[in-house]
A and B are shown apart, each in its own frame.
Chain A
Amino acid sequence: MAFEVPKNTYNGKIREITLGSGPSALKIGGETSYPLYIFEGAVPNKVKIAMEVWDTKPDDWPEAALEPFADVIADPVAWAKKCVDAYGAEAICLQLVSTDPNGANRGADEAAALVKKVADAISVPLIVWGTANHDKDTEVLRKVAEVCQGKTLAIGPVEEGDHKKIGAAAIGYNHTVVASTPIDINLAKQLNILLGNLGVSDDRIVMDPTVSSLGYGIEYCYSVMERVRQAALTQNDERLQFPFICNISREVWKTKEAKQPTAEAPELGDAARRGILMEAISATLLLVAGADLIIMRHPEAIKLVREVVNDLTG
């Protein structure tokens, strides 16, 4: 049998982006082949996992998700430190849930002060995630950018509707932009072009394709991510050659199946392990689709996904 292993041919490369600064800066991206295809190209940076911290005590997390953080859940600074010290988080994502105008509607100054405190308390890169309300995010993230000058944060979600003001602040105070678009390759490309036109440097952009949980539309982002990678790597589309950041845990843990207690749905098995697996399997699918950095919640789920990442690319 004359047999030769077939190979894809690539002519593009994903940009390598550095998050944070100093000794704990984190490099993501840089791959020259399809996700995890180490047999076809270079995958210089393993997929990274950031742990999420909320800026306010969550009131709708199931027991399994709360338990690891029970002692720090009301103190974002302590929570972030625990993620780094106890669970070895490589980055932290501070979710500014309390700034939501439809919720607690916390003001920009207060939010920015908290971000600064968290940033000062940890040595790993910090990602700051708003509420996707354009007006409010503009107000909050601009303030955050200013107060945290020198921290090289990643701030988002930066969408077409608010990219100018938040993008300008990111340029002014030297932060990275999380370019966020609703599950669409053309919109993703468009926003990256707009950010470039605005003057955001190409080494300060990461892409958020908008992800959803297993069972709640993950196949849509999965395919959009695959298509983006095809365009970036095999058609050398320069405006799509940015690493993916996937904010998945909050999507998983808000689903009915991740929350239902064992007694209420015995056919779904043990509630804690089910929640962990729903998060870890969602993350696994995103790995396959091309995620470079995944924002996760449960330490057990993170441990499992790290093992798979190491197995595949270690």
Chain B
Amino acid sequence: MALTGIQIFKLLPKTNCGECGVPTCLAFAMNLAAGKAELTRCPHVTAEASAELAEASAPPIRPLTIGTGDRAVKVGGETVLFRHEKRFENPTALAMLISDTIADSELAAKLERAKNLIYERVGLTLRPELLALKCQSGDAAKFAALVDKVARGSDFSLILMSDNPDVLAAGLKACADRRPLLYAATPENADKVAALAKEAGCPVAAKAPGIEELGNLTEKLTQAGIKDIVIDSSSRKVKDVFADQVHIRMSALVKKFRPLGFPTIVFACEMADNPMKEALVAALAVAKYGAIVVLSDFQGESLFPLLVARMNLFTDPQRPLATTEGIYEIGNPNENSPVLLTSNFSLTYFLVSGEIENSKVPSYLLVKDTEGLSVMTAWAAGKFVADAIAPFVKKSGIADKVKHRKLIIPGYIASESGGLEEELADWQVQVGPREGAHIPAYLKAWKDA
């Protein structure tokens, strides 16, 4: 439970020395409670008080990292129930299940496909992060062989899956330096798996039937000194998983209930009987609070929409996504193609570029950096006016790409056309449509001469 200013004050030296930068310990305590100060600013606080305060100020849902290096993935650390309240922190990590009964050729194909499923969108790289390796054979050696092959053949972060601590130990040995997630500690094997995780310094998943027993299990693991825990309530029915996800998130955030203050794992692969339905279940989990979602396979047609859904929901609502400033060539334009101008709010860019594509008229799209603001907002803020646009058009290099000198500006900034023609002496400014939907008709009628 987060402490109040008064509770924090009681733990401080109460000397009012002022070395922390504020005149009194009470004022400092209030700042700490409000998250406006760091405890390290107080040179005289006791180690004991410091530990107690650190515990109380820890994030309500434990942030942790699975894997190492480039594809390491951070999960947890969430602080809100609704994205508009602040933002969702760490995008749901997507995993593909691989069983140790898989044939070698199939494994190679899966790893190759997983590696190639990477998408670029608004300057972001979208890709999945995890492979969930499951011991289905019951044979520790066979499992270790799979882990070894995957660890050497792929840079994905790993989840090792077995109820048997000996099997997990064998798998762990084959990828000890990769910081895999051990799945799972259960009420039956908790001691052994906890020892394993502690020794290797790996995060561990706790799995128990229902969220109450799950809380008991995480307390046990915590007492064993394990901090990085991922939780699975064992439900596999869509309705129950949905309810559990909501209850776990609310317990952690609203009630500050520590035993459930951990990122969750959802097995979409065990919740649907076909890959299409599975994708929808995964989307539900991305929206409602799943920190890791395990899929039965990665295929472009389902992975791409899921990655985009994830990007959309985990975007910071306070900071709109922006596209990079520059010249975008759509449909192989040539020196006679039309030149359109728009702002760099990513939605504006997507809409405008999409409509240009729909028109089938090859065109250049000049995207001006407006700090992620839409056309109207940027114009109102003085970031999309003649004075700002003209220098951008000049230095963009578009004049070297086209023979004509006609610039199509959004209909909403028609009032800038006069100013622009003054600033861009050799250009003729044409006022385009106000709405993106009218671009195709406009471009089809457009002539360079």
Could you tell me which A residues sit within 8 Å of B by CB distance? Answer: 1, 3, 5-6, 8, 36-39, 60, 102, 212, 214-220, 222-223, 226-227, 230, 254-257, 266-271, 273-274, 276-278, 280-281, 284-285, 288, 300, 304-305, 307-308, 311-314
Q: How far is the CB of B94 from chain A (nearest CB, A)?
A: 13
Residue from B84, B305, B347 within 8 A of A214 (CB atoms)? B305
- Contacts A278-B305, A304-B280, A307-B277; is A256 near B84 (CB within 8 Å)? no
Q: How far is the CB of B243 from chain A (nearest CB, A)?
A: 5
Residue from A5, A254, A273 within 8 A of B302 (CB atoms)? A273
- Contacts A1-B212, A284-B283; is A227 near B239 (CB within 8 Å)? no
CA distance A121 to B217 in the complex (A): 60
* B306 with A269: CB separation less than 8 A: no
* A285 with B215: CB separation less than 8 A: no
- Contacts A268-B301, A277-B305, A311-B239; is A1 near B354 (CB within 8 Å)? no
Bitwise, B281-321 to A at CB < 8 A (1) or not (0) is: 10110011000000000011111111011001101010000
* Residues of chain A within 8 A of B308, CB atoms compared: 214-215
CA distance A308 to B354 in the complex (A): 30
- Contacts A6-B247, A214-B309; is A277 near B301 (CB within 8 Å)? yes
* A223 with B283: CB separation less than 8 A: no
Q: How far is the CB of A306 from chain B (nearest CB, A)?
A: 11
* Residues of chain B within 8 A of A1, CB atoms compared: 212, 215-216, 219, 259
Name the interface size band of chain B: 35 or more
Would you call B2 an interface residue if the criterion is a C-beta within 8 Å of the partner chain's C-beta atoms?
no
Would you call B83 an interface residue if the criterion is a C-beta within 8 Å of the partner chain's C-beta atoms?
yes
* B357 with A280: CB separation less than 8 A: no
* B280 with A284: CB separation less than 8 A: yes
Residue from B121, B304, B354 within 8 A of A274 (CB atoms)? B304
* Residues of chain B within 8 A of A257, CB atoms compared: 304
- Contacts A214-B305, A216-B351, A256-B357; is A285 near B313 (CB within 8 Å)? yes
* B276 with A280: CB separation less than 8 A: yes
CA distance A288 to B358 in the complex (A): 31
Would you call B237 an interface residue if the criterion is a C-beta within 8 Å of the partner chain's C-beta atoms?
yes
- Contacts A6-B251, A226-B84; is A268 near B304 (CB within 8 Å)? yes
Could you tell me which B residues sit within 8 Å of A by CB distance? Answer: 82-84, 116-119, 121, 211-212, 215-216, 219, 237-239, 242-243, 246-247, 250-251, 254-255, 257, 259, 276-277, 279-281, 283-284, 287-288, 299-306, 308-309, 312-313, 315, 317, 347, 350-351, 354, 357-358, 437-438, 441
Sampled A-B contacts (13; CB under 8 Å): A3-B212, A218-B309, A220-B347, A223-B82, A223-B84, A223-B317, A226-B84, A267-B116, A268-B300, A285-B309, A285-B312, A300-B276, A312-B242
* Residues of chain A within 8 A of B350, CB atoms compared: 215-217
* Residues of chain A within 8 A of B251, CB atoms compared: 3, 5-6
* A281 with B216: CB separation less than 8 A: no
- Contacts A1-B216, A222-B313, A255-B354; is A269 near B301 (CB within 8 Å)? yes
Residue from B212, B257, B302, B317 within 8 A of A219 (CB atoms)? B317
Residue from B117, B216, B238, B283 within 8 A of A311 (CB atoms)? B238
CA distance A226 to B80 in the complex (A): 13
- Contacts A214-B309, A214-B312, A256-B354; is A269 near B284 (CB within 8 Å)? no
* Residues of chain B within 8 A of A36, CB atoms compared: 242
* A288 with B280: CB separation less than 8 A: no
Q: How far is the CB of A71 from chain B (nearest CB, A)?
A: 24
* A308 with B284: CB separation less than 8 A: yes
* Residues of chain B within 8 A of A60, CB atoms compared: 358
Q: How far is the CB of B283 from chain A (nearest CB, A)?
A: 5
* B242 with A274: CB separation less than 8 A: no
* B84 with A311: CB separation less than 8 A: no
Q: Which residue of B lies closest to A252 (CB)?
A: B305
Q: How far is the CB of B50 from chain A (nearest CB, A)?
A: 27
* Residues of chain A within 8 A of B84, CB atoms compared: 223, 226-227
* B358 with A254: CB separation less than 8 A: yes
CA distance A307 to B237 in the complex (A): 12
* B438 with A102: CB separation less than 8 A: yes
* B277 with A304: CB separation less than 8 A: yes
* B279 with A277: CB separation less than 8 A: yes
CA distance A7 to B279 in the complex (A): 29
* Residues of chain A within 8 A of B212, CB atoms compared: 1, 3
| Residue of A1, A230, A305 with most partner-chain B CB within 10 A | A1
* Residues of chain A within 8 A of B242, CB atoms compared: 36, 312
Sorted nearest first, the 4 A-B pairs with minimum C-beta distance are A269-B300, A269-B301, A274-B301, A311-B238
Q: Which residue of A lies closest to B213 (CB)?
A: A1
Residue from A217, A222, A300 within 8 A of B347 (CB atoms)? A217
* B117 with A267: CB separation less than 8 A: yes
| Residue of A3, A266, A288, A307 with most partner-chain B CB within 10 A | A3
* A281 with B301: CB separation less than 8 A: no
* B301 with A3: CB separation less than 8 A: no
Q: How far is the CB of B392 from chain A (nearest CB, A)?
A: 25
CA distance A38 to B315 in the complex (A): 28
